[in-house]
Structure 1
Amino acid sequence: MSRLNSVRAILRAGAALAALAAAPAFAQDHDANAAAFAQAAEEATQAVAEETGEITVTARRREESLIDVPISMSVVSGDALVRTGATDITALQDKTPNLTLQIARGSNSTLIAFSRGVGQQDPLWGFEPGVALYLDDVYVARPQGAVLDIFDVERVEVLRGPQGTLYGRNTIGGAVKYVTKRLGHDFEAKARVSYGSYNQIDLIGQVTVPVGDILSIGGAVAQYWRDGYGENLTTGVDQYNKNVLAARLSAELTPSDNIFVRVSGDRILDTSLPRHGTRLLPNGTDPIYAPTDSVYDTRAGIGDDNRVETKGLSATGEIGLTDTLTFKTITAWREGHTDTLIDFDNTERPTLDVPAQYDDRQFTQELQLLYEGDRAQGVVGLYYLNGRASGAFDTVVGLLNTTTLTSGTVLTKSYAAFGDLSFDLTEQFKVSVGARYTKDDKTGTVFRRNYTGIRSPVFGNATAVPGLIRTDYTNSRSFEKFTPRVSVSYQPSADLNFYASYGQGFKSGGFDMRGDAVFTPTTVDGYEPETIDSYELGMKGAFLDRTLFVNLAGFYSNYKDQQVTIQVPALPSGIASFVDNAGKADIYGLELEMRAVPSRHFTASAALGYTHADYKEFLTFIAGGTTPVDVADQRAFQNTPEWTANVSATWSEDLAGGTIAFTPSVSLRSDVQMFEIATPALDQDGYALVDAALNWTSGSGRYRIGIAGRNLTDTRYRVGGYNFPGAFTGNSIIGYYGPPRTVTGTLEVRF
């Protein structure tokens, strides 16, 4: 189906849905409609000038004022992201101190996340993120398909530092919570259409329909198209294009004041063309290996097939047992499949090509008991995860006519018991104590084999000649950890909170799916967990009659046994991989966020982050040696700029029966290394991004017209890369880049 026909089909379907959904609304009386528009107008006004009241968050699994929570965290509303032209959650890294959120190298929808120097760049099955992603209260275990677009979202909460007590074993660096809005019992609908640079077309529709007094049904659908920023000079197709269809459907049942049930499902299909990157260095004088004129162009010849599908279903139930006790259950299932291609040499030749596929599924069950008393609050609970992550890929070294097939599976069962309780010792002093016990049972199966020929039978070459089996094992291990957390708060007033906290984080060990038992026989034993001890001092306050809000935090972390993936060329098998538990590191820094609201016509905000991350010990094996060597003085943290900053402001005025608002912003990031070993050709120097948005909202709040420009100075900056130098790998040093300058116009209508 052509894009034009697809647009027509979606518009017809959307019109039919809107007409069907609007029927109950027309049956409502005039006062109800007026109240709905008044509410929309109020929301629009708040979008222009941030409300000076409380910001409510759920960082501790219960609703609290942001000022009361003794955790360094940022909160960004979905409306604020949409108004500035952000299309997915990676835009949060420009607004949030000490955060890196990027699309993974060679991918369109795989998420790479780091916070305060802690994360995981390698999205291979079996490896787990260090910054956890939550879709509402559901943990998303795999990074594939996790670059969530900004639709049907109320707010995003970014929790910094280990959150192991309430959010589990893989929140050693923090957590990102994508929070959708409850449907409620009022009819609501809105549609958003955007057109922008590179033929960007966004079509988004949302609707909530009450059915009687106790049931509401809601849905949202989004289709994103965009031509590429560059071109594949070998095949003629686009590079860095977008073709994503996303949908979410939910139903909420409220049979009584103390019972709430929500069932929701979501599906994301990404058929964007593969991102192959661009060569940064030539390979001798052969022109086929020369870098392209544009950093968005490529000469990759591996192919143009790419498909990522993720879907999930969850059920949440809340029962008020008493005035102070609530029982909550969260049951969820998620599944994903990825077919992708990575051309490491970026030429029409199969010098270093990797076709790959990934499959994952997870089932989770969480039970919570929440207590809200006059002087004590808290939650205790149980958690269970049953997951399976598997995949396969070929490493094709065309100059040697060899291929290495790698395939495997990791089965995980995780059990946890947790609790977090807060006590008001006096009106000013509060203490919070939490802990979590986690036990992970993992079974890893890894198979690697050499073939003569281009690609293995698994990826279509039935004539490939099988050779040496390099790895073939199944092994099981269990990992368990007790992770405590404690904090003390002093609140001299309702608008000021000083706090100190200690927390411990834990990321489970596992098995290296690339592990080569010929080069590293110990790979069959797996790798150990990593842990972090984090200390934090902070202040949150509202000043000058709540026209100035300041959040300040300083932190120190002791990081042990960090899991670092090392990949090196290893002939004739192509690439050898091993996972080091790197040893010890100290990380310290600060975070400052400020928001000023001196009048309804002007707001300003600023954020500053500083991270100093230093290896004290980094043990690894050198040149096939059997004794680990400390190379701490030769290693640095990857994806961790020392400085991050953002400044923005909004001027608004009444105009033509509505409000017009202008919002410029500047974000800065200092130098960053892509890997632990410095690679001058690949590492990114510091850079600044300039954005601006202009929005007009009608007085009723029904209409919004906006135009947003991002990266207005057209800065070129790398967000990822690969480093495989050498003759037989084509001296493959390739980079992936963030978007160029784009301008997008938007029309939004509320019904």
Structure 2
Amino acid sequence: MHSFVRTILLASSALALPSAALAQGAAPATQTPSADMAPSASDAHDSGNDIIVTARRRAETAQEVPLAISVINAESIEATGNFNINKLQQLTPTLQVYSSNPRNTAVNIRGLGVPFGLTSDGFEQGVGIYVDDVYNSRVAAAVFDFLDVAQVEVLRGPQGTLYGKNTTAGAINITTNQPTFDFEGKAEVTVGNLDFKQAKAAVSGPLSDTLAARIAISSTSRRGTIYNVTTDRWINEQDNLGLRGQLLFKPNDGLSITLSGDYSRQDPECCGTVFVRTGLTQRALARQYEALAALQNYTVVSRKPFDRLTDVDAPLSAGNKIGGASLRVKWDVGPGTLTSVSAWRFWDWKPENDRDFTGLSIVSASNNPSQQDQYSQEFRYNYESDKIDFVVGAFGFKQRIDTQGFEQQGVNSSKWNLTGALANDPTVLAGLTARNTQYLKSTSAALFGQASWKVTDALTIQPGVRVNYDKKSGFYQRVVTTGQGAILTCPQPAGSIGAAQCGVFSPQLSAPSVSDWNFSYDLNVNYKIAPDILAYATYAKSFKTVGINQNGLPTDAAGNPIVSAGVIKPESVNHFEAGVKTQFWDRKATFNLTAFRTDIKNYQATVTNGQLGVLRGYLANAGKVRSQGVEADFSVRPSERFSAYANGAYTDAKYKKFVDAPCPPELAGGGTGTPPGPAGTPGANSPANCDISGQRLPGVSKWSFSYGAEVNAPVTLLAKDGEVYLGVDGNYRSSFSSNPSESIYTNVKGYALTNFRAGFRSGGFDVYGWVRNAFDTNYFELLQVAPSNVGLVAGQPGDPRTWGLTVKSDF
């Protein structure tokens, strides 16, 4: 049945593409309003720089929406080169995106969303990603090019009473360009250094008086930024292809039916790391990185990370396919509008990794391919009147993820991980293989609604409620075989070869299952102090639903799985927010200010141990987490010749209570006796866990800023009347922790990036040159601690200076 539904949906649809400007200023866009969507940001700039959004499931200006929201249109995304969610954080200071590969991608807002570290399928995303009202449960979509995007709205704070899937940290609402009943098209080609090539095209028009179609395509390729001397190849390249097709049936003004299909493929040689540094752990000195490398006559290719050289020896791949189909119906029924969104999505992940981060064959293979199917159905009814507006809805979601894990030890593993005579026998661990079979079944259903009571022309009270049911069940089986092909059982007698093998890969079987009901609500009160000044305050009682440990369970002293750790409690969220939105100087300037505080009880955190392959990571509940701060957005557009924006955020996100957290590397790897020794003391005892209460959450910068400006002047060039322009944009973020428990070895220094562009545009034609990271700033996107507590820290350098030329035209 499922395959039949997929075939019908996909066969009825076709193909898609990208584009984007901050609601707070930025360059004017030129796209045409679609047949059944709200006008884009660009179409309103002549009427006071108003930006039209659908954050509350109705068309209204961004300044009317009583919540913190950043709106980015297609022109700004294209002009600044931010063509996927991963790069979008350069425009929105409180958005954080971290990706060691497409699967292990975290999208957070204000430091909250998903735990930092290896991804587990058993928990929910805290930041919802929606494309044309369809919820995307896998953040792997973040690494793909935007497909024919009209606008992106980043909503900050809990979103559950207006959106299908409950989200505790925010939502990214992506709207694509829709089919039109007037013929239109656009094409864009970009070339740059690092063999960068990008091509985009879209065409839209009528097939009949009631049927319109739109087709779009995007292709991106770029040479890698790290050179692997082992394979004599550049790695961490870009290789993306995206297609989208849409059919719009509009028999009358009160009914529109849109059928969409999309497919995206990514097949780069990715994702490798470079040597960054070493730091002393509490493992015996002879078993730390420097000694072990010398023992095996191993010298890393470079100790200067921004030489961008590596020697990782395992095959690398980040094969990634994602796509699906949706059917959206909007029907004027009675005094309101009924919307139905039916969708199926798939995700196919085929990775190959080098988990030891070295040129030695310690981990010879680490591959965990996954396949996901998700089905969702949402119904909403919108009603608007002079005194009361409301939205009521129902949402259903079904998901299955299957994973086939394969991990294998190499010929250098014994010497790296064992002691005594066993360390000198490579056959003890060489070929030791763990095969994991696992699946997740997830079902969710919800009723939600939000009302707006216009008490007076100035005062509005807006309550919302949500009732949610979730059920999750999983299966995990790890079968371990020795290099000779024998099945390994654990535990084994102490000191034996089998015991050494069990210390690296241990078989396990678990099948956690749980269901849970949740009730959440919010209340917003907003008051229009003056025609262009809106003040608001919000309280939200929200949750992140119950989770399960899908990647295996921690074990007790006897090596048995701790069954009680299979289920993770829901997060309980209390959120407070207050803000003011203002426009002045005849609406040529906008200034918005927001203060927020979010308290979370039973925060779902990622816990990792230092052993090489026993358990890569699992979920556990931290006691309490708090994120609080202030956000400011300013833009000015005094004339058509100049525009500028500046956005900033202060975010204080920390663990308020986490007494049994995993220890950072400087306190790991030692003996189990008491008392524990000082941090970074080889041979000292290590605590079983650490109290990190008061420490900052990983991945969060206290200070972050983005800015941009553009100036233009009229000119006639090659008999064409147009304008020349010069633009600059940039962003800054202060230092952040790159480890679940803050470590002196993995703090990433703050950095600033600056981009320039200059060009000529006339009508629908635009040609411009650009330079990104113009000052060639050296910075890290992510630092990672190598397994086995050897003190090795590897990293992923950010892009160096890049430059290129873009030509685009509308027709």
| TM-score bucket of the superposed structures, by smaller chain | 0.7 to 0.9
Alignment pair present for 1:351 and 2:362 = yes
2:110 to 105, 109, 116: 116
Alignment pair present for 1:692 and 2:769 = no
Give 1:639 deviation, angstroms.
0.9
Uncovered stretches (5+) of structure 2, i.e. residues with no partner: 1-14, 16-29, 279-288, 415-428, 488-497, 663-670, 674-686
Name the residue aligned to 1:460.
none
Higher share in strand: 1
Please list the CA deviations of residues 203-242 of structure 1 after superposition, one character each: whole Å capped at 9, or x if unmatched.
1110002112111110101111111112111112221211
Alignment pair present for 1:598 and 2:638 = yes
Whether the 8 Å CA contact 1:706–1:746 is kept in 2: the answer is: yes
Distance 1:671 1:734 in 2: 17
Tell me which amino acid in the other structure corresponds to 2:645.
Answer: S
Q: 1:552 to 1:709 in 2, by over 3 A?
A: same
Please list the CA deviations of residues 86-123 of structure 1 after superposition, one character each: whole Å capped at 9, or x if unmatched.
23222321221311124x11x25764211111022333
Identical residues among aligned pairs (%): 27
2:619 to 571, 576, 579: 579
Tell me which amino acid in the other structure corresponds to 1:561.
Answer: N
Q: What pairs up with 1:197-596 in 2 under 5 angstroms?
A: 197-281=193-277, 283-284=289-290, 285=294, 286-289=297-300, 291=302, 293-295=304-306, 296-322=308-334, 324-352=335-363, 353-398=365-410, 399-400=413-414, 401=429, 402-453=432-483, 470-519=507-556, 520-522=561-563, 525-570=566-611, 573-596=613-636
Tell me which amino acid in the other structure corresponds to 2:701.
Answer: P
Paired residues in the alignment total 699
Please list the CA deviations of residues 635-680 of structure 1 after superposition, one character each: whole Å capped at 9, or x if unmatched.
4201111011112111111122101221112311011001232233
Q: What pairs up with 1:642-721 in 2 under 5 angstroms?
A: 642-656=702-716, 657-698=721-762, 701-721=763-783
- Aligned-partner SS, 2:75: helix
Name the residue aligned to 1:640.
700
CA RMSD in angstroms, aligned pairs only:
2.8
Q: 1:679 to 1:245 in 2, by over 3 A?
A: same
Please list the CA deviations of residues 102-147 of structure 1 after superposition, one character each: whole Å capped at 9, or x if unmatched.
4x11x25764211111022333333332211111100000122332
Distance 2:766 2:242 in 1: 23
Whether the 8 Å CA contact 1:635–1:676 is kept in 2: the answer is: no
Distance 1:480 1:683 in 2: 39
Q: 1:392 to 1:318 in 2, by over 3 A?
A: same
Name the residue aligned to 2:493.
none
Give 1:251 deviation, angstroms.
0.6
Tell me which amino acid in the other structure corresponds to 1:349.
Answer: L
Name the residue aligned to 2:69.
73
Distance 2:468 2:382 in 1: 20
- Aligned-partner SS, 1:551: strand
Give 1:171 deviation, angstroms.
1.4
Q: 1:88 to 1:456 in 2, by over 3 A?
A: farther
1:142 to 129, 138, 145: 138
Name the residue aligned to 1:614.
654
Distance 2:602 2:262 in 1: 36
Alignment pair present for 1:746 and 2:806 = yes
Whether the 8 Å CA contact 2:158–2:575 is kept in 1: the answer is: yes
- Aligned-partner SS, 2:87: helix
Distance 2:191 2:270 in 1: 23
Distance 1:454 1:179 in 2: 55
Give 1:345 deviation, angstroms.
2.1
Tell me which amino acid in the other structure corresponds to 1:226.
Answer: R
Name the residue aligned to 1:3.
none
Distance 1:567 1:267 in 2: 34
Tell me which amino acid in the other structure corresponds to 1:332.
Answer: A
Tell me which amino acid in the other structure corresponds to 1:739.
Answer: D
Distance 2:694 2:331 in 1: 55
Q: 1:558 to 1:87 in 2, by over 3 A?
A: same
Distance 1:436 1:48 in 2: 34
Q: Higher mean Cα deviation, 542-551 or 632-641?
A: 632-641
Q: 1:316 to 1:46 in 2, by over 3 A?
A: closer
Q: 1:108 to 1:233 in 2, by over 3 A?
A: farther
Distance 1:133 1:221 in 2: 21
For normalisation by structure 2, the TM-score amounts to 0.81
- Aligned-partner SS, 1:344: coil
Please list the CA deviations of residues 567-621 of structure 1 after superposition, one character each: whole Å capped at 9, or x if unmatched.
12236x4445332200112221011001111121111101010111232211326
Q: 1:97 to 1:348 in 2, by over 3 A?
A: closer
- Aligned-partner SS, 2:230: coil
Give 1:48 deviation, angstroms.
13
Tell me which amino acid in the other structure corresponds to 2:751.
Answer: Y
Distance 1:86 1:451 in 2: 46
Q: Higher mean Cα deviation, 575-584 or 499-508?
A: 575-584
Q: 1:725 to 1:302 in 2, by over 3 A?
A: closer
Distance 2:326 2:696 in 1: 40
Tell me which amino acid in the other structure corresponds to 2:457.
Answer: E
Whether the 8 Å CA contact 1:164–1:504 is kept in 2: the answer is: no
Distance 2:55 2:32 in 1: 30
Whether the 8 Å CA contact 1:129–1:170 is kept in 2: the answer is: no
Distance 1:559 1:221 in 2: 42
Distance 1:507 1:473 in 2: 23
Tell me which amino acid in the other structure corresponds to 2:472.
Answer: K
Whether the 8 Å CA contact 1:430–1:488 is kept in 2: the answer is: yes
Distance 2:238 2:781 in 1: 17
Q: Higher mean Cα deviation, 142-151 or 527-536?
A: 142-151
- Aligned-partner SS, 1:117: coil
Distance 1:735 1:492 in 2: 50
For normalisation by structure 1, the TM-score amounts to 0.88
- Aligned-partner SS, 2:376: strand
Q: Higher mean Cα deviation, 707-716 or 307-316?
A: 707-716
Distance 1:439 1:38 in 2: 41
Distance 2:534 2:302 in 1: 54
Tell me which amino acid in the other structure corresponds to 1:412.
Answer: S
